[in-house]
Chains A and B, each alone.
Chain A
Amino acid sequence: MNAAAVIRHRLFWPAAVLVLLLAANVFFTPGFLSVELKDGHLYGSLIDIARFGAPLILVATGMTLVIATGGIDLSVGSVVAISGALACLWITGLDDQQSTAGVLTAVGIALGLALFLGLCNGILVAGIGIQPIIATLILMVAGRGLAQLITDGQILTVNSAPYKLIGGGYWLTLPFGVLIVAAVLAITAFLTRRMALGLLLESVGGNATASRLAGIRSRGLIVTVYAFCALCAGIAGLMISSNVSSADGNNAGLWIELDAILAVVIGGTSLAGGRFSLGGTVLGALVIQTLTTTIYTIGIPPETTLLFKALVVVAVCLLQSPAFREKVLNRRRRRPQSAPASADPKVKVPA
C-alpha cells in the first residue's frame, strides 16, 4: 500500500490524532508508554486508557449500530446510571456481599432492566414512529430520575469482591472490563460483518421504506439495535459503578451519550445512517479517553480543560472532513500567496 492510499484511508486522521496525543504524552512524561507488571496485573498509563475507555467503547458500540439505522439514542447515560444503581441496591440487600451467585443475580437483574428499557426505546421508535431523538430523550430525562429513585438520591456503597471484578478487577493480568469489551466487540463484529446483519442495518439506515419493500423486517431490526444499545450501556454502567464500588444516581454516566456520539462521529460513521464502522468507533472512543488522560498527565488547568478538548475535537472533525480538506487544498492552489508561510507543500493530501 503506498503512502497516498494510507492517507486516503477512512481511519487515517483519527489514528493520526491518537498517535499525536500519545506522542505528546511521551514528550511530557517520558515513561508514559511503559507497561509493567505490578501485583500480578499490568500497570501503566496505556492500561488506564483502555480500562477507563472500556465503558465508553461499549456505549459507543451500541450507539454505532443505532446510528447506522439512522437513529440516535440519548438515553444511554441514564441507562448507565440505572443499571449501576440497581445492581448496587441488590448487592447491598444481600446477606453475604461476597457471594458470586448473589452478584450474578444482581448483574442479571440490572442487565434485564437495561434490555427492557432498550426495548421500550425501540418500540417507541419503530412501533409508534416517534422521532428517535425525542423517543430516547424521554428516557434520558425520566431515567435519571429513576436512578435517583433507586439510590434514594444517595451514593450506595458496596463491598463485594466479585462485583469489584467487573470494572476494577483483573483476569490473566488484563483488566476484566477490557476483556468484556473485547468479547462484545468480537460478537458484534462477527454478527454484523460476517453475517448479513450489518448489511441489513445499513440498508434500513439508508432507506427504511425501500428496505421494507425489499423484504427486510426493518421494525424488528430497529427494536433489536435499541435493545442492544441499552444492553451495552447497562454493562458499561456495571463497569463504572463496580470500578468505584458504589452507585451514584446523579453523576454516573452523565453526558456519556455525547461522548459516545462523538466517538461514533470521529470514527467516520455517518449520522444520517446507512454506513458504519466499528473499528472507527473504537478508535474514536480511544481518542476521547486518551485526550482526557492527556489533560490530567500534562496538567492542563481545569479552567481550560473544556476549551482544550473542544479545540482538539474540532481539529479532528475538520481534518476528517473531505469537503474541508478539499476546500483548503483548492484555496491553496488558487491563491498560493495567501497560504501561511509555514505551510509545507508536501502535506497536501489528495482528497
Chain B
Amino acid sequence: MFKRMSALLLVGATVMTMAGCGSGGTTSASQPGSGGGDDKITMGFSQVGAESGWRTANTKSVQESAKTAGIELKFSDAQQKQENQIKAIRSFIQQKVDVIAFSPVVESGWDTVLKEAKNAKIPVILTDRAVDSADTSLYKTFLGSDFVEEGRKAGKWLVEEYKDSTETVNIVELQGTTGSAPANDRKAGFAEVIGADAKFKVIASQTGDFTRAKGKEVMEAFLKSNPDIDVLYAHNDDMGLGAIEAIEGAGKVPGKDIKIITVDAVKDGMQALADGKINYIVECSPLLGPQLMDLAKKVVAGEQVPTRVVTEETTFTQEQAKQALPTRQY
C-alpha cells in the first residue's frame, strides 16, 4: 500500500513540475517589493497570458516602454486564469506599488480586489480589455482599442471601394468567439456603416472562433452554400488566412474574386496583404506601452486623465503593407 502511494505521489510531483515549466511561471510578482518609498514609479502589471503573437507583442511593448520611461515594472503572467490575476493584484497591493495596470482575463468578478486596491490608495489602469463593474471609481482609466471603431473603419473602406457600383454586394462575415467583446463590437461597427446602403448584403455570418482552422472550415461551407460571394469580412487575420486557403481550394482568387477585409494586422496577415491576397486590414495595435506609461505618470502625479483612452491605430492597404512589412514588430 505504502509503495503504491509513494509511486502515486512521485507521479503527481513530476506532473506538477511538467505543468509548471510547460506554461511559464509567475515569478516577478512574488519578489519582495521596493516600491513606494523612492522617486521611481513602480508599476504592477498583470498580463492575460501569452496566447497569441498579438499578446506577446503587447507584453514586449509594455516591458520596453517601462524601461525607456524609467518606470520599474513588476510583470506577472496570469496564464488566462482570473484567480492568478487576482492573486497577482493582491501581491502588488502588499508590495505597495504606485500604480497597478492589468488586462482583465474576463469582464466580471473584479469588484472585491479592485476595492482592496482603492482602499490601499493605489490607482488602477485597465489595458486592452474592460471590466463590467458598475462602480467606475474603482479604476482611473481604460486604455485600449475601440473595437466598434475598427468595425466602422472596415465598413468605410468597403463603402468607398464599391461607391460606383450599383449591383448588390454579397458579404460573408467570419465572427470572433461568440460573445467576446471584439466579436460583438466589430460586427456592430461594420453593420452600422454598411447598413446605410441597401446594396450591401451580409448573406452569411458565422463564428470562426478567431482561429485559422475554424476560419477555413466555415469558409468552405460558405463557398458551397453561397455560390456568389463578393466580399469576406473576418474579425481577425487568422480566420482570414484560413479562409484564403478555402477560397484557393475552391478555385477562386482571394483578393480578386472575393475581396477580403480583416482586423489586427499581425505579421502573417500583413504578408498576405502585401501579396495581394487580402485587400484591407484595420490595425488593432498591441503597442500601447508608451501610452500606458504616459498615463501611469499622470495618474501617480495626481493629474486628471480621461476615463477612456483609445489606442493610436491605423489601417493598411496593400501598398502600405509592402512598406510597413520590413519594420513590422509582430
Q: Is A297 touching B207 in the complex (CB atoms < 8 A)? A: no
Contact of A148 among B8, B23, B205, B213 (CB under 8 A): B23
What CA separation (Å) do A13 and B209 show in the bound complex? 31
Binary per-residue interface labels of chain A (132-157) against chain B in the complex, 1 for a CB within 8 Å, 0 otherwise: 00000010011011101100111101
Q: Which of B7, B23, B205: most chain A Cβ within 10 A? A: B23
A124 to B22, CA, bound (A): 20
User: What is the interface of chain B mostly: helix, strand, loop, or mixed?
Assistant: helix
Annotate A161-174 by CB proximity to B: 1 below 8 A, 0 otherwise.
00000001000000
Q: Given that A148-B23, A153-B56, A248-B211 are contacting pairs, would A45 and B221 also be in contact in the complex, using a CB cutoff of 8 Å? A: yes
**Residues 337-350 of chain A: 1 if any B CB is under 8 Å from the residue's CB, otherwise 0?**
00000000000000
Asked if residues A128 and B7 are in contact (CB atoms below 8 Å), the reply is yes
Which of A32, A129, A153, A292 has the most C-beta atoms of chain B within 10 angstroms of its own C-beta? A153
A299 on the B face (CB < 8 A): yes
Query: Looking at chain A, what size class is its interface with the partner chain?
Result: 35 or more
Q: Is B324 among interface residues, defined by CB-CB distance under 8 A?
A: no
Find residues 208-257 in chain B having any chain A CB closer than 8 Å to their own CB.
209, 211-213, 216-218, 220-222, 224-225, 238, 241-242, 245, 249-251
B221, A48: Cβ atoms under 8 Å? yes
Q: Is the CB of A251 within 8 A of B22?
A: no
Contact partner, B53, options A155, A298, A299, Cβ 8 Å: A155
Does B52 interact with chain A (Cβ within 8 Å)? yes
Q: Are B224 and A32 in contact (CB under 8 A)?
A: yes
How many angstroms from the CA of A295 to the CA of B52 in the assembled complex? 28
- Cα distance A302–B205 when bound, in Å? 8
Residues of chain B at the chain A interface (Cβ within 8 Å)? 4, 7-8, 11, 15, 18-19, 21-23, 49-53, 55-56, 175, 178-179, 204-207, 209, 211-213, 216-218, 220-222, 224-225, 238, 241-242, 245, 249-251, 268
Q: Which residues of A contact B (CB under 8 A)?
A: 28-29, 31-32, 38-39, 43-45, 48, 52, 124, 128-130, 138, 141-142, 144-146, 148-149, 152-155, 157, 168, 240, 243-246, 248, 250-252, 292-293, 295-299, 301-303, 305
Given contacts A43-B249, A248-B212, A293-B221, 8 further A-B contacts (CB under 8 A): A52-B217, A138-B15, A141-B19, A155-B238, A246-B212, A292-B217, A302-B207, A305-B178
